[in-house]
Amino acid sequence: MHSHLPGPGRRTPVSTYRLQLGPDLTFAEAEKALPYLDTLGITDLYLSPVLQAAPGSTHGYDVVDHTRISDTIGGREGLERLAAAAHARGMGVVVDVVPNHMAVPTPAWHNRALWSVLKYGPESPYAKWFDVDLAEGEGLLMPVLGARIGTVLAADELVLDHTVVPGDGGVDEEQPVLRYFDHLFPVRPETEHLPLAELVGRQHYRLAYWRVADEELNYRRFFDVGTLAGIRVEDPGVFDATHALLLELFEAGVIDGFRIDHPDGLADPRGYLRRLSEATGGAWIAAEKILEEDEELPDDWPVAGTTGYDTAWRLHALQVDPDGAAPLAGLLHEVTGEHTTLDDLIEEAKRQIVETSLYAETHLLTTMLADICREDVRLRDHTFRSLQDCVTELIVAFGRYRAYVVPGEAAPPMAGRVVREAADIARSRLDPDRHDTLDVVVDLVLGREVGSAGRQNEERRAELVVRFPQVCGAVMAKGVEDTAYYRWTHLVSLCEVGGAPDRFGVGPDELHALARRTSESWPATMTAGSTHDTKRGEDVRSRIGAIAAHANAWTALVRRLREATADLRPADLDGRTENLLWQTLAGTWTPAGPIEADRLTAYLVKASREQKAWTTWTAPDEAREEGLVRYATDLLTHPDVVDGFTGWVERVTPTVRRSVLATKLLQLTVPGVADVYQGTEVTGTSLVDPDNRRPVDLEALASTLAALDTGRTPSDLAEEKLAVTAAALRVRRAHPDAFVGEDAGYEPLPVTTGRAVAFARRDASGPRVVVVATRLGDAPGQVEATVVLPEPNPGEAWRSLLTDSTADAGAVHLGDLLGAWPVDLLVAEPVDSAGSADVTADGATA
């Protein structure tokens, strides 16, 4: 049995459908959608976090209570009803798990564990839960004040009050609290009668000005989000307490598998995943691990694989024409006036993050290093300043989320390599006098013996081994994905989570190589097109990617429209933001016209603040933002812009159609468990969250699918995408062993053009499914090119689910095979059934 497949008796999903639960989509609403999802061909529901979240949560990643299923979405009864209804249809349930952090809600009593720690400090039964040293005396930092504490006290904004909150036994009781507007904090026992200023200073927490968190912090956060506090799930007691309900539901057969949010934030990702795998007897587990281009998932993780970003960006890049790189680089310079590289932007952005929003985290690392060196006579000449310089440069140079080093174990060769590679870059940026200090830092973060003999496994050194990679991951996420990828606007569809934006195009050979590796090592990993975290929906990426195939026409269009709207354009409009604006219009302008102005402008303001160049979340330039909003809004109705983009949509329609259908079909058929993010079975215009969490009309989709299943021809690209998605999902369900089984195989098929890709999916009996997809623009000879279909089993022939025609093994002209479609999906069927409408047992017809 393959080591990365679920254990005996554990379910492997064949396909999943991601549902973003919340006030607009409860368990009951999800249950109503089951008939449609079943008809679509989905085998498993994939639910966003289901535990009780902070008041008003729209996503569920801000958990406040691990002992309850969210009341907002229907509670435990609702989940059990949904699961029972799904299981009755043979469908499974996968749940998103958030092990890394809990919410710091307003008011704080909603998180009973946190409330207890704030009230009782080290004496709290939850004292070990949060990643903070409560013994240091200052208490947990609560950076919630709108001004410095002295100003707040002088203004009488902080008051002692009494209110009813849940008591220690879960029974509501009146307690003394400190009230600051909507914020409530418990009062430490026996301090209620102290003068207010003294009372404030005697608590197990420190109320502070919100900006203090960027420079002083004594608890681990989720990235730079102060309202999400890290928890010590590496502690067996904390793991048991925070996972008891989910594991109970798993054992009861309510839950069948897990998606793990952000494992790189954990102290010991491998240890956590091993504990979860052991507790579930080898359940199917997908880890949200962001892999860089040349990075592999650690083989010693007991998981099925990743959540699919590694597949998503490559499938999009397969449709990006490399010939567009040079013209678009010229336009980038023209609009922004810059001659910079992506590497330079990433270095600049990570350095900015280290010096601002994550300064507290990097400063803490330096403090730990300084303490270690001060306590060892052989190391004490390495000064705080030199250590700080080395830590900064090492983190900035780090080329991936983190290395995986466990205290007490020798660093794995890969961890040693990536740290050394970062150190080589850091060394080139440091004064030679710092090089010895850098060597010490490298040895310490890798857990090696350095300084005096025998001090290798001391507690402080072990803690550094844990903390350093946690900070690296946070800086990578905030500096690269949430900053540099908003600044780099060469072709913004390439700026995706885990992507490689400087890779202008991926060829068929690279796709085949990835698929073969995946099939051999991670056959039940997840594949994705869109997720709740992608920067843009998959169809927006396809429309933007089409720019590369028509780069000269695009540059001419942008120049013409910039000139036509020059009188409207703010004089201080940022060039990167403007280039992003034009490409976003291309990504969201469809035959129906542009998206709503409020959606476009909300996205542009968010993207600009994420750039952190001319406006930020913490210091917004409201005047310039208003200018951007006015300009973008005016563009949507400007006659020249409307005419220009109407013509553009007509020009790129064949390219976009090819990209949308090919990307979707490939994502649903390459090795792995195929995920469909809610609503992406049809075309859409979704941008980054929260835009991509808008409600989906599943009833309307069910009606459309029913019409297609009765033989109606798809009326537009959205319906074509639905037909392709349903065909692929139904084939997966009918032939699961060819896609995720132990014997599932992947066989590239010969094609006589680089503008198409083809492969077969096999099970133990032989080839079962053939996939053919074209790529890039039309080219002379593409129709005449051939693909070699494999020999099916005796008595079988290839049947197309899209054209309803049959094909023999051997060389076939693409034009004859595809007909009017840019893709095809063929199934091996008994010859005597050829010509019937019953393509599969599921009724998958085009």
User: Which segments of the chain have a pLDDT < 50?
Assistant: 833-846
Number of Cβ atoms within 10 Å of the Cβ of 156: 8
- Going by C-alpha positions, the residue among 543, 537, 527, 462 that lies closest to residue 496 is 537
Hunting for tokens 């053009």 — which residue is that?
753
Give 51-108 pLDDT, tens digit per residue: 999 999 999 999 999 999 999 999 999 999 999 999 999 999 999 999 999 999 999 9
Give 464-523 pLDDT, tens digit per residue: 999 999 999 999 999 999 999 999 999 999 999 999 999 998 999 999 999 999 999 999
Q: What is the pLDDT of residue 537?
A: 97
β-sheet bridge partners, residue 830: 796
User: Dmax over Cα atoms in the chain, in whole Å?
Assistant: 91
Backbone angles phi, psi at 743, to 5 degrees: -100, 10
Question: 3-class DSSP state for residue 785?
Answer: coil
| Tokens coding 765 | 């009996």
Q: Of all residues in the chain, what percent carry a pLDDT higher than 70? A: 97
Name the residue type at position 43: T
β-sheet bridge partners, residue 209: 145
d(CA 64, CA 808): 59
Cβ contact 127:136 at 8 Å: no
d(CA 30, CA 719): 22
For CATH 3.30.1590.10, the residue range(s) in the chain are 108-230
Question: 3-class DSSP state for residue 371?
Answer: helix
Cβ contact 545:697 at 8 Å: no
Name the residue type at position 150: G
DSSP state of 765: T
* Pure H helices in 565-614: 575-588, 597-611
CATH of domain 15-100+233-307: 3.20.20.80
d(CA 760, CA 749): 7
d(CA 694, CA 728): 25
The string of DSSP codes covering 142-202 is EEEESS-HHHHHHTT-EEEEEEEEE-TTS-EEEEEEEEETTEEEE--TT-TTS-HHHHHHT
Cβ contact 323:508 at 8 Å: no
Cβ contact 335:495 at 8 Å: no
Q: Place domain 739-833 in its CATH homologous superfamily.
A: Golgi alpha-mannosidase II (2.60.40.1180)
The DSSP bridge pattern shows strands 92-97 and 158-166 to be unpaired
- Going by C-alpha positions, the residue among 17, 16, 25, 27 that lies closest to residue 79 is 27
d(CA 360, CA 143): 13
CA separation, residue 756 to residues 119, 133, 327, 658, 829 (Å): 64, 57, 24, 11, 24
d(CA 578, CA 331): 11
Hunting for tokens 């973060």 — which residue is that?
445
Question: 3-class DSSP state for residue 363?
Answer: helix
For CATH 3.20.20.80, the residue range(s) in the chain are 15-100+233-307
Q: Place domain 108-230 in its CATH homologous superfamily.
A: Maltooligosyl trehalose synthase, domain 2 (3.30.1590.10)
d(CA 747, CA 515): 9
d(CA 260, CA 268): 14
d(CA 44, CA 826): 24
Hunting for tokens 């072709």 — which residue is that?
491
Cα separation of the two ends of the chain? 36
Q: What is the pLDDT of residue 782?
A: 72
For CATH 2.60.40.1180, the residue range(s) in the chain are 739-833
Is residue 594 reached through a cis peptide bond, with omega within 30 degrees of 0 on the bond before it? no
